[in-house]
Each structure stands twice: as C-alpha cells, then as structure tokens.
Amino acid sequence: MTKISFSSLCTHELDDNRTTKPHVLPIYATSSFDFQNLQEGIDIFTGEKKGHVYSRYGNPTIDTVAKKIAALENYGLSGEAQAFLCSTGMAAIHTALLAVAKSGDKILTQGNLYGGTTELFNKVFSQLGIEPIFTNLQSIASVKEALTQHPDIRLMYCETPANPTLACIDLQALGNICKENNLISIIDNTFATPYLQQPLSHGIDIIIHSTTKYLNGHGNSISGAIVCKNEELSKTIWNTLKLTGGTCNAFDAWLLNNGMKTLTLRMDKHCSNALTVAKRLESHTKVIKVNYPGLESHNSYEIASKQMRLYGGMMSFEVNGGMEAGKTVMNNLKFCTLAPTLGDVDSLILHPASMSHLKVPKELRLRNGITDGLIRLSVGIEDPEDIYSDIEAALENV
C-alpha cells in the first residue's frame, strides 16, 4: 500500500486476508462492493459480467441462502428454481403480488388466510384497484363458479395447510385449473416447508415463505422468501424487489442458514409431537374440535396424506365456551409460550380471535371456522407430555 496518513489507515479497508475457504458461510456485512476499475463496474451494471454492486441488489450471504431455499423447494424436480430473500414474510407476499398483479385484476383466494394477509388484500391492494375474491378453495365447483362470475381474476393465492384452521387444498387440482385459465398461482408454504410439501411438483408458479418460522426455527431472525421456476416471472419479481427495497439483510440470512441445517430433524419431531397432542386433545371433554390434518376426523386428512410427507407441527383446537373460555385457557398456561408467531423449537400458543385475526371481519372469520374459542398451537420439540399436561391443566379452569 502506498504510504498514507494514520487517520486514512484507520479509515480504509485492507485486503481480505482469507487464505482458505471458511467451513461456515460468512456474514457479508457490507452495503456495497468495490470495483477494480470503471469498466468492471460498467460490465456488472449492464449485465455483461456477474457481480455484486449494492446489498439491496444482492449480497453473497443472502444469495447463497436464497439458492439453498430454491434447491430445497425444487429437490428431485427437473430444471432450476430461483429464490429471493425479503425482509419479512409479509414483504415476500407484497412483493410477489405487486410484481404480477395490476389495477383491475382480481385475486382468487380463501377466507381462512393468515389475518395479516387478509388485511394486506383488503387495506393495501384494494387501494391499488386489486380486489380479493374469497371463496372455498377446497371446493373445485366453488373455484370454477368464482372464475365464471369474475372473468378478471388473474391469479390465485392460497395457504395449505391454512392458518389457523389447517384446512388443505388440492394443489394438483388447483394447479391444473390455473394452467387451464391462464392464472398465476401463488402459495404460502410456511406451515409445511419444502420438507413436507413441494408445490412446484404440482404446477404452482410462485411459493412464499415466512422464513422466520420453520425454516429458521429458532425465533431469532425475521425474513421471507419467494421461489419461482418461471424465468419471466422471476425477472419481474426481482425487478420489483430491487426497486421497492424489501430485501433481507446478511445477518438474518446467516441465522436462517444456520436454522435450515436442522430442518428435517426438527420437522420430524414437530410432526410426531403434534400428532400425539392432537389425538389426546380430540378426546378431551372441553374441546369441541381439533384441527390437525393428521387426524382422520379432519376434513383435509385425505388431501394432506396425498400431497404432504408428514402432517406438520401446527394445529388448532376449539374450546367449549367461546371467547371467554379461550381467554381463560390462554391465561392459565404455564409451559407453552404466549407469542404471536410459530415454528420455533418451543411450543407457542395464540388466540386468533383476539390476536392474529383481530382485524379480520368477524363474519369472514366465523364463516371459515376461526371461532372465538379457537386456539392455535405451534407444537414444539419438547417432551409431548409436558405440552399436553400444560394445556390439560389450563382446560380445568374452563
């Protein structure tokens, strides 16, 4: 280095001193990247050469983790998928929809979505002239009727299993309908993860994840992902993400990468614990109904068995006594954590009517089984006896 002043030496970066490849992905905590000369910068900006420019456009940590998620969703399938990491799951939903929908379009969707997604449709996209059409996506007849009544439907958005009723839809059937009607299909695959369910194999165009949940699994970062195989759609999504700026940061991507290393181990335990707790709650006298697709009594058991490897770690149950009974159970839990999230290694519990779905119109909520006494449980990987005993003790107060 040319001799410079002490203060300049303090300010400037020295050359990267790495000599061998790190075993664990590094955190590239940098906002921008240096060009060796002007021509290199021109080549990268014009697309003549691949390279990083600015971390909103891409970052080695973020890009590496996105590539892993794409590989997981596309595992065993032909061709390649592309993934993009966003700042949150909601940013992923917003970016994907903003990329593919325009004013005057309608979105065919279901009434039992995550409350935040319903709000996004009703309060943000409606102002852009993009209207949600809520129907029962479990009914092919209802889907076809909605498409006949609303010829300006341009895309379908779904969750399966749905939050919080765990209702499942037939991905292959809906994927086929979307292809026949030239609709773009989008699915939130957060509950299932690519380990349990691969929507791309059923012809779905775009996959959304709140990677905050099961993919990370440890409740220590927030991010979202968009996965797509269609090159044209991928370019549109990328341009929208780049310009709206809802991109992930390197540290959250790094935490996500660490979490994914134990995804299969965690999901196996989540699933086995959830089935154990669901079966026991099903026979409890103060529980009206248990929503878990692994129970033969659940209306989605056959569909889930067809398109999922296992049935997931999410469930919900309805307490006899409505709103007050639901609140009573919540206030008497000692082991399960009351928290408005899911997918962590410890068990998390939530009362949708007063929390996640508080701002969803009550009529829409009740029509889709999200009752005042419904409680959502993200079953952790603890000893299942501890989880059930806590809920059982809380139910004694109802």
Question: What is the rounded CA–CA span in Å between residue 38 and residue 29?
Answer: 23
Of residues 24, 4, 27, the one with CA closest to residue 14: 4
Catalogue the active-site residues: 56, 114, 188, 213
The two three-digit tokens of residue 143, written as one number: 């889907």
> Are 213 and 220 in contact, with CB atoms under 8 Å apart?
no
Q: Phi first, then psi: what are they for 349, rounded to 5°?
A: -130, 145
- Which segments of the chain does DSSP mark as H helices, in order? 6-11, 38-46, 60-73, 89-100, 115-119, 140-149, 171-180, 193-196, 231-244, 250-260, 263-282, 301-307, 322-331, 362-367, 384-395
How many CA atoms within 13 Å lie on the side-chain side of 8? 5
Residue 60: partners with Cβ closer than 8 Å, 6 or more residues away? 26, 28, 52
Residue 291, sorted as left (phi over 0), alpha (psi -120 to 50) or beta, turns out to be: beta
Q: Phi first, then psi: what are they for 355, rounded to 5°?
A: -130, -95
